[in-house]
Amino acid sequence: MSSNNLTFTSTVPIVPAARLQQLPVQFFASLVQKANAQIAAGHDVINLGQGNPDQPTPAHIVSKMQEAAANPLYHKYPPFNGFLFLKEAIAKRYKEDYNVDLDPQTEVAILFGGKTGLIEISQCLLNPGDVCLVPDPGYPDYWSGVALAGAEMVFMPLKESNQYLPDYSALSPADLNRAKLMFLNYPNNPTGATASAEFYDETIRFAEKNGVVVASDFAYGAIGFDGEKPVSFLQQKGAKEVGIEFYTLSKTYNMAGWRVGFALGNPEVIRLINLIQDHYYCSLFGGIQAAAAEALTASQACVTDLLQMYENRRDALYLALSTIGWEAKPSKGSFFTWLPIPKGYTSNQFADLVLQEAKVVVAPGVGFGTHGEGYVRLALLSSEARLTEAVERIGRLNLFR
């Protein structure tokens, strides 16, 4: 008999720990369910709602993994904190790309994907009653780490009128007295905005004044448009004294499934992340670490090509948007676009409508925070032809005329 047909009963009550009951609802789970229902019904669905890169990992990285998988050295437990050669590779990449000096031994931690580090840092630094400053709209997994730490969130509104940057002067003294950690994310998910060096200078002064650790989520650091290279928080003087930066190979090298990320910067925060990971993991499979080092140290032509592909897709999407009267400012970075919805709809209502009537999946802005209401996020993770077709389908609903 299939295990799916069995009913299990427990002789002891299974009661979830309070920390699990405090976790936010996974926003993307319901989005996936709705999309899958349409696909199961036989419809041709164009999914622009999720952030899963659609291109394969470059061949030279895959080849390195195939070679490394046969190396008996990597069949053993890796060092708890990972192989030094991978830490040296990310330090070399940051020096070449951003002129940032990193000590591989003390200022680099290897992560099981960037998401893991973004959750771990809250557990490392926050106690119940502490406050974490979180962007709104922002990446929902920030919320998960804060919830697991038993801390509280104070949201920093990201408004178009302020180029989707937080206004530190709007935060109350009472909240700042309890604030211990702050998340930033540029190029930004979901808005596609970027941050300037001047903004990071302001952030460092704010962090020093208020005793707040900065966690810069630089997941889309390789993806900036119109010839403007995204700025790393760590490029600014004083950054390592007040915080760290998270980087991932998922977007830069189409390695989302490989789960390779890094925490970089302040040595004490890096030590704490390594400490908590000692109790969770025994680092990544060595073959993956070897392939990751290859990605970071080999020719970066694949990154240049990927960036050009995303910019071409962005331009094709916004050209199509203009033909149906959907007006929005082109995104400056990341592989997301942030689009205002027509009057008379909530973002959930609009997303449901275009899925039902146009068979296009978009992410409702409210899923990223209350200040995301009034917008939807579209991902540049389909071909130019499919992006154009998606917009044309939505255009036939006559919502923008």
Contact (Cβ atoms closer than 8 angstroms) between residue 262 and residue 284:
no
Contact (Cβ atoms closer than 8 angstroms) between residue 193 and residue 55:
no
Q: Which amino acid, one-letter code, is at 106? A: T
Q: Phi/psi of residue 234, each to 5°?
A: -70, -10
State the CB neighbour count (10 A cutoff) for residue 65. Answer: 21
Q: Is the pLDDT of residue 3 over 70?
A: no
Q: Is the pLDDT of residue 304 over 80?
A: yes
Q: Is the pLDDT of residue 94 over 60?
A: yes
Write out pLDDT tens, residues 243-271. 999 999 999 999 999 999 999 999 999 99
The per-residue pLDDT for 1 is 44
Token digits of residue 196: 């300037």
> Domains of the chain, with CATH numbers?
17-56+302-395 (3.90.1150.10), 60-297 (3.40.640.10)
Write out pLDDT tens, residues 353-388. 999 999 999 999 999 999 999 999 999 999 999 999
Write out pLDDT tens, residues 123-180. 999 999 999 999 999 999 999 999 999 999 999 999 999 999 999 999 999 999 999 9
Average pLDDT, integer, range 172-190: 98
Q: Is the pLDDT of residue 5 over 70?
A: no
Q: Are strands 336-340 and 213-217 parallel, antiparallel or unpaired?
A: unpaired
Buried b (16+ CB within 10 A) or exposed e, 321-346: beebebebeebbbbbbbbbebeeebe
Q: Note the Cα 353 to chain centre separation in Å.
A: 27
Contact (Cβ atoms closer than 8 angstroms) between residue 331 and residue 337:
yes
Q: Write the burial class of residue 219 (CB in 10 Å: 0-12 exposed, 13-18 middle, 19+ buried).
A: buried
Q: Phi/psi of residue 364, each to 5°?
A: -65, 135
Average pLDDT, integer, range 100-111: 98
Contact (Cβ atoms closer than 8 angstroms) between residue 387 and residue 313:
yes
pTM value is 0.94
Tell me which DSSP letter residue 344 carries. T
Mean pLDDT of the chain: 95
**First and final CA of the chain: distance in angstroms?**
57
CA angle 363, 250, 37 (to 5 degrees): 35
